[in-house]
């Protein structure tokens, strides 16, 4: 009985549904534990004049109050540039920037003390938007360029050109479990930290640096997260380090669990982007040249912004060949919380910028946007080199799109929508098909490594640990499946332990959709070597040669001599008695990937995950209200490792993306205070937003030979399919725009739709006499 390729329930499902899975704040408190609250800067950019902590100190139950001067080691860190502080010493750079940590014996006392802290700040000039940053020349890092061909010449020679701007807003992760950690001080400067983190190794190094102790004194463990989505890749480290700091100072366990409003106000989000573009194309809609300048809003520090920008640039071709392109990118520095990784990591913004251009070309040429998309798709054996020089191989998109076009009845529905929009005065419908080609691998080469520890015990059970963290995506389940099949033992006999830095060192974050690809391969490296030793030991017992032995169905045997076989349990017991090592550490590096960000050239990706979506939208012309009555998704998952979990990634990613492009709007006021700071004011998709008709299929692609067991990474790519919903809104508005290109930023909220419609109506009324074609 093998389990790879089967729909095995999530390994924690049974305890999840019973309420028996333990998250950080479910760990019973120790009697001497303290609870932390953060007092943050009341202004977006300011200089600390004075702090009044007396009233807070006097609160009954308050145990300790800490500021930057209490940090024994470094107060500065950051994954790319060391420009972040744990606690602001003098200058604060966003509203909520932590200034003071309050530790108290109870949550209530900690909150009461926090409310009594007073800070006197001298406000400094602050900027918040991409436009303001460009005007002020406020950037993080250098401009990046990816270039191919000669854009200037090609634009000059183009039959048509279009120029425009697209504003893309951010997105709050809204993981259900907020940032949380508990730190337990040990003897001799040791520190054990339970953290809800996608990157235990980074938490370990930051905790060690803040405390001024060697890395080997700090153990960081994560059993699971209540959601991550990129928000706990770098930004789990701050709270964890705060807990560790207080635990070290007080020599008592310290717990920090951000309340929802604080979490949303303090942590970074998906980067807002502004895209400026000029595109040249022929009357058939084929693009000859693209000049695209991307500006991301990085917030107050670098965090991962340069890498996010890079992935946005690497995805702004999406699935389309660009013979001439110049793609530039800059990270803007503003006084907002530092924006960070979020599922897709810049890819969605790059793809949205490109799909917007295709919609606009279609409107301009009065053609169906699908025709324009097909005319520009990467070819097979020709027109297949990306602007950064990687060849697009195993390109299934032409076939995949054709399959989806049929199954979603795209053409029939297009005619229906044409007829509907011509006669309805109350509603508008729109339709779009958008593809995705998402590059798999970290674009930072170093991170494409993983290690795993596999222990086989003498009762025939196995324990695996890797650097992969479980945030709901099912990486633990998949790795258990892989190890069980490779050792040929039942799935139930394999356990996967909490991810911890004392078992797996120097690990990469669980990110870039790579969790299973990297860590699963490392685990198989370990099991492979255990099997080699066991096979060598078993060969004489079975009178077979070691290389012919198979591990399956809980036995070891030579398929050519099935009458002689040895039970796995029997074999490991005998091997142990003969002093054969049953544990192994495995290691894996992704072969062949490399990218030079200075030249903008290379082969950053091992392979691409492809898919496409058809989305239909319905808009109420009176109110702007948007509904998504039907969506069809077709996803190339290679050969799925676990179709149930893979399907969950596709649907979950799509709906999360649908929130980004429709109802989720991050709103700051003019002073940089987050107004959308809780689910009352920030609206992620609800169960009633799931499309009434929602068809989700896997595309049959057994040829993805480069990937693990010919499966494909699915963590992020499906999110980008949601851009079809946004494109369908743009398409719907085009019907009301009398031939003009309707502007639309992202997200397409009901408010924006109504205001755009009202404006189009007024413009149309003005244009009514004389009727004139758009002169561009």
Partner 1 sequence: MRDHLVLYINGKVHEVRGGDVFVPLTTYLRERLGLVGTKIVCSEGDCGSCTVLIGRVRPGGGGGGGGEAGGIDYRPVCGCIQLMGQLDAVHVVTVEGLSDEGELNPVQREMVRCQGTQCGFCTPGFVVAMCGHLEEERRPTKQTWTRALTGNLCRCTGYASILEAGMAVDAGPGKWRRVGERYADAAIAQRLAAWERDAVEVCDGLARFAKPVDVRAAAAFRAAHPDCTVVSGGTDIGVQVNKRMRAITTLLSTAGLRDLEEVRVEAGAGSISTLIAGARASLTEVERAAAKALPEFARMLENFGSPLIRNAGTIGGNLANGSPIGDTMPAMFVLETEVELTGTNGSRRVNMNDFYTGYRQTVMQPGELVTAVRMRLPAAGELFQVYKISRRKDLDISSFTAAIWGRVSGGRIETMRIAYGGVGPVILRLRKTEAALTGAEFSEATFAAAGAVARSEIAPISDVRGAAAYRLQLAHNILGKFYAQTAALQRTGGRAATNGQGEHA
Instruction: Strand 118-123: give its sheet, edge to edge.
Output: 91-92, 46-52, 118-123
Tell me which of 37, 310, 584, 716 is the catalytic residue: 716
Residue from 679, 693, 762, 776 that binds partner 1 (CB under 8 A)?
Answer: 679
**DSSP assignment letter at 182:** E
Residue 83 or 689 having the CB closest to partner 1: 689
Dist CA 709 CA 699 (whole Å): 16
Q: Which of residues 228-257 bind partner 1 (CB under 8 A)?
A: 228-229
User: Considering the rule CB under 8 A, would residue 586 count as an interface residue with partner 1?
Assistant: no
Nearer to partner 1, 604 or 715 (CB): 715
What is the rounded CA–CA span in Å between residue 352 and residue 576?
Answer: 57
Binding to partner 1 in span 165-184, by CB under 8 A: 173-178
Minimum distance from residue 3 beta carbon to partner 1 (Å): 15
Beta bridge pairs of residue 529: none
Q: Is 32 in the site for partner 1 (CB under 8 A)?
A: no
Q: Does 675 bind partner 1 (CB under 8 A)?
A: yes
Going by the DSSP 8-state scheme, the letter that residue 702 receives in this structure is T
CB of 436 to partner 1, least distance (A): 16
**Quick one: 555 or 694, whose CB is closer to partner 1?**
694
Cβ nearer to partner 1, comparing 205 with 752: 752
How distant is the alpha carbon of residue 236 from its chain centre? 15
Kindly state whether residue 693 participates in binding partner 1, applying the rule CB under 8 A: no
Dist CA 132 CA 126 (whole Å): 9
Range in contact with partner 1 (rule: CB under 8 A) among 227-235, 248-256, 292-300, 408-416 = 227-235
For partner 1, which is the closer residue by CB, 427 or 574? 427
Q: Which two tokens stand for residue 58?
A: 């006097």
User: Does 25 participate in binding partner 1 (rule CB under 8 A)?
Assistant: yes
Hey, which residues between 611 and 630 contact partner 1 (CB under 8 A)?
Answer: 620, 622-623, 625, 627
Name the DSSP letter for residue 381. S
Q: Stretches 17-25, 406-414, 452-460, 566-574: which one binds partner 1 (CB under 8 A)?
A: 17-25
Cβ nearer to partner 1, comparing 213 with 631:
631
CB of 9 to partner 1, least distance (A): 5
**H helix runs in 437-502, sequence order:** 475-487
- Report, in Å, the least distance between residue 85 CB and partner 1: 27
Question: In the window 503-562, what residues touch partner 1 (CB under 8 A)?
Answer: none
Does the footprint of partner 1 cover residue 764 (CB under 8 A)? no
Q: Specify the residue for token string 């940053």.
A: 133
The smaller minimum CB distance to partner 1, of residues 373 and 480, is found at 480
Residue 280 · residue 155 · CB < 8 Å: yes
Helix (H, G, I), strand (E, B) or coil at 169: coil
Tell me: does residue 17 bind partner 1 (CB under 8 A). yes
Does position 667 interact with partner 1 (CB under 8 A)? The reply is yes
Residues 647-666 within binding reach of partner 1 (CB under 8 A): 647-648, 651-656, 663, 665
Q: Binding residue for partner 1 (CB under 8 A) from 20, 49, 391, 671? A: 20
Instruction: Give me the DSSP letters along 273-300.
Output: EEEEEEEEE-TT--EEEEEEEEEEEEES
Residue 114: CB minimum distance to partner 1, A:
10
Out of 377, 400, 408, 645, the only residue in the binding site for partner 1 (CB under 8 A) is 645
Give whichever of 254 and 575 is closer to partner 1, judged by the CB atom. 254
Nearer to partner 1, 2 or 7 (CB): 7
Interface characters, 63-92, with partner 1 (x: CB under 8 A): ------------------------------
Q: How far is the CB of 680 from partner 1 (least distance, A)?
A: 5
Is position 689 an interface residue for partner 1 (rule: CB under 8 A)? Answer: yes
Rg (CA), the chain: 28
Distance of alpha carbon 3 from alpha carbon 542, whole angstroms: 26
Residue 492 within binding range of partner 1, rule CB under 8 A: no
How many CA atoms lie within 13 Å of 687's alpha carbon, on the beta-carbon side? 0
- Among 220, 148, 120, which residue's Cα sits nearest to residue 506? 220
Query: Closest approach of Cβ 343 to partner 1, in Å?
Result: 10
Site stretch for partner 1 (CB under 8 A), options 74-82, 432-440, 460-468, 471-479: 471-479
Bridge partners for 120 per DSSP: 50
Query: Distances from the Cα of 642 to the Cαs of 161, 327, 406, 474, 552, in angstroms?
Result: 46, 37, 27, 9, 19
How far is 49 from 330, CA to CA, in rounded Å?
Answer: 33
Q: How far apart, in whole angstroms, are the C-alpha atoms of residue 652 and residue 643?
A: 14
The site map against partner 1 for 716-755 (x = CB under 8 A) is ---------------------------------xxx--xx
Cα of 652 vs its chain's centroid, Å: 12
Residue 593 or 645 with smaller CB distance to partner 1: 645
Least CB distance from residue 645 to partner 1, whole Å?
Answer: 6
Residues 256-275 that bind partner 1 (CB under 8 A): 259-261
d(CA 267, CA 430): 35
3-state helix, strand, coil split of the chain in percent (to 5) is: 35, 25, 40
When binding is defined by CB under 8 A, the residue of 187, 688, 702, 772 that contacts partner 1 is: 688
Cα gap 654→651, rounded to integer Å: 5
Region binding partner 1 by CB under 8 A among candidate stretches 76-84, 225-233, 329-337, 389-397: 225-233
CA angle 52, 55, 56 (to 5 degrees): 90
| Rounded Cα gap, residues 68 and 100, in angstroms | 8
Task: Choose between 10 and 697: whose C-beta lies nearer to partner 1.
Answer: 10
Footprint on residues 422-461 left by partner 1 (CB under 8 A): 424-427
Q: Phi/psi of residue 284, each to 5°? A: -85, -5
What is the number of other CB atoms lying within 10 angstroms of the CB of residue 364?
20
Select the span of 129-137, 224-232, 285-293, 547-555 touching partner 1 (CB under 8 A): 224-232
Part of the chain binding partner 1 (CB under 8 A), chosen from 18-26, 62-70, 89-97, 559-567: 18-26
Which C-beta is closer to partner 1: that of 153 or that of 755?
755
Indicate the helix (H) or strand (E) that contains 543: none
Stretch that binds partner 1, among 81-89, 420-428, 486-494, 564-572 (CB under 8 A): 420-428
Give 650's contacts (C-beta < 8 A, 6+ positions apart).
611, 633, 635, 637, 696, 714, 718
Residue 308 or 475: the one with the smaller Cβ distance to partner 1 is 475
Contacts of 18 (CB under 8 A, 6+ apart): none
Residue from 422, 577, 687, 769 touching partner 1 (CB under 8 A): that is: 687
Q: Which two tokens stand for residue 535?
A: 């096979």
Cross-strand pairs, 450? 588
- The whole-angstrom separation of Cα 73 and Cα 89 is 14
Whether 716 is a known active-site residue: answer yes
Q: Is residue 765 involved in binding partner 1 (CB under 8 A)? A: no
- Among 8-16, 352-360, 490-498, 524-532, the segment contacting partner 1 (CB under 8 A): 8-16
What is the total count of residues that contact partner 1 (CB under 8 A)?
84
Q: Which residues touch 693 (CB under 8 Å, ≥6 apart)? A: 629, 630, 631
Interaction residues for partner 1, span 115-134 (CB under 8 A): 115
| C-beta of residue 236 within 8 angstroms of C-beta of residue 274 | no
Please count the residues of the chain: 776
Task: Kindly tell me the burial class for residue 276, based on how many C-beta atoms sit within 10 Å of its own C-beta (0-12, 13-18, 19 or more).
Answer: middle
Quote the least distance from Cβ 719 to partner 1, whole Å.
Answer: 10
User: Contact, 276 vs 309, CB < 8 A?
Assistant: no
Give least dist CB 663 to partner 1, A: 5
Residues recognised as catalytic = 716
């Amino acid at each position: 009985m093998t389990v790879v390729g089967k729909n095995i329930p999530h390994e924690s499902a049974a305890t999840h549904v019973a309420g028996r899975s333990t998250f950080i704040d479910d760990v019973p408190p120790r009697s001497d534990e303290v609870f932390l609250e953060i007092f943050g800067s009341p202004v977006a950019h300011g200089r600390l004049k004075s702090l009044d902590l007396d009233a807070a100190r006097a609160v009954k139950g308050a145990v300790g109050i800490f500021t930057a001067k209490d940090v024994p080691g470094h107060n500065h860190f950051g994954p790319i540039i060391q420009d972040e502080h744990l606690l602001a010493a003098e200058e604060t750079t966003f509203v909520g920037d932590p200034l003071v940590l309050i530790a108290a014996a109870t949550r209530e006392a900690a909150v009461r003390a926090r409310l009594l802290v007073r800070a006197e700040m001298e406000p400094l000039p602050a900027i918040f938007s991409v436009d303001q940053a460009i005007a002020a020349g406020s950037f993080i890092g250098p401009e990046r360029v990816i270039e191919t061909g000669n854009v200037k010449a090609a634009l000059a020679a183009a039959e048509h050109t279009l120029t425009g701007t697209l504003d893309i807003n951010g997105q709050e992760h809204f993981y259900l479990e907020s940032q949380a950690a508990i730190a337990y001080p040990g003897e001799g400067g040791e520190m054990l930290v339970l953290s809800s983190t996608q990157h235990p190794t980074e938490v370990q190094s930051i905790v060690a640096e803040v405390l001024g102790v060697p890395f080997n004194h700090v153990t960081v463990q994560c059993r699971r997260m209540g959601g991550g989505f990129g928000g706990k890749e770098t930004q789990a480290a701050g709270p964890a380090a705060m807990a560790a700091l207080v635990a070290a100072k007080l020599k008592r366990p310290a717990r920090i669990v951000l309340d929802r409003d604080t979490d949303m106000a303090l942590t970074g989000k998906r980067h807002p982007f502004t895209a400026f573009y000029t595109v040249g194309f022929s009357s058939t809609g084929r693009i000859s040249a693209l000049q695209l300048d991307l500006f991301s809003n990085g917030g107050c520090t670098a965090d991962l912004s340069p890498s996010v920008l890079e992935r946005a640039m690497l995805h702004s071709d999406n699935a389309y060949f660009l013979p001439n392109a110049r793609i530039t990118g800059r990270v803007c520095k503003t006084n907002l919380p530092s924006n960070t990784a979020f599922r897709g990591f810049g890819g969605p913004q790059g793809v949205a910028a490109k799909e917007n251009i295709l919609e606009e070309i279609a409107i301009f040429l009065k053609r169906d946007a699908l025709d324009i998309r097909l005319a520009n798709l990467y070819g097979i054996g020709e027109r297949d080199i990306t602007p950064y020089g990687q060849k697009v191989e195993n390109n299934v998109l032409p076939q995949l799109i054709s399959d989806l076009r049929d199954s979603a009845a795209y053409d029939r529905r297009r005619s229906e929508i044409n007829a509907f929009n011509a006669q309805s005065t109350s509603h508008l419908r729109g339709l779009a098909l958008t593809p995705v080609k998402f590059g798999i691998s970290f674009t930072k080469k170093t991170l494409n490594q993983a290690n795993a520890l596999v222990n086989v015990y003498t009762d025939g059970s196995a324990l695996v640990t890797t650097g992969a963290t479980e945030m709901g995506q099912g990486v633990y389940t998949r790795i258990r499946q892989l190890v069980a099949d490779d050792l040929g033992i039942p799935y139930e006999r394999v356990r996967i332990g909490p991810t911890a830095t004392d078992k797996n060192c120097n690990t990469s974050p669980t990110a870039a959709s790579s969790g299973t690809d990297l860590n699963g391969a490392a685990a198989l490296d370990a099991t492979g070597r255990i099997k080699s030793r066991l096979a060598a030991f078993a060969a004489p017992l079975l009178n077979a040669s070691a290389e012919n032995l198979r591990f399956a169905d809980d036995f070891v045997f030579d398929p050519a001599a099935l009458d002689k076989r040895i039970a796995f349990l029997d074999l490991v017991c005998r091997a142990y008695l003969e002093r054969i090592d049953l544990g192994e550490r495995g290691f894996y590096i992704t072969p062949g990937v490399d990218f030079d960000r200075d030249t903008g050239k290379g082969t950053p990706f091992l392979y691409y995950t492809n898919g496409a979506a058809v989305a239909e939208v319905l808009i109420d012309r009176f109110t702007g209200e948007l509904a998504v009555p039907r969506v069809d998704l077709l996803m190339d998952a290679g050969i799925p490792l676990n179709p149930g979990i893979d399907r969950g990634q596709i649907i979950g990613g799509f709906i999360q993306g649908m929130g980004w492009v429709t109802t989720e709007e991050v709103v700051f006021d003019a002073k940089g205070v987050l107004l959308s700071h809780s689910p009352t004011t920030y609206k992620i998709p609800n169960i009633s937003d799931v499309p009434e008709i929602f068809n989700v299929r896997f595309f049959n692609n057994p040829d993805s030979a480069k990937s693990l067991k010919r499966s494909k990474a699915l963590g992020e790519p499906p999110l980008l399919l949601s851009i079809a919903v946004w494109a369908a809104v743009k398409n719907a508005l085009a019907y009301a725009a009398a031939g003009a290109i309707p502007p639309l930023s992202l997200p397409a909220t009901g408010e924006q739709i109504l205001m755009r419609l009202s404006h189009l109506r007024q413009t149309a009324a003005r244009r009514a006499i004389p009727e004139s074609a758009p002169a561009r």
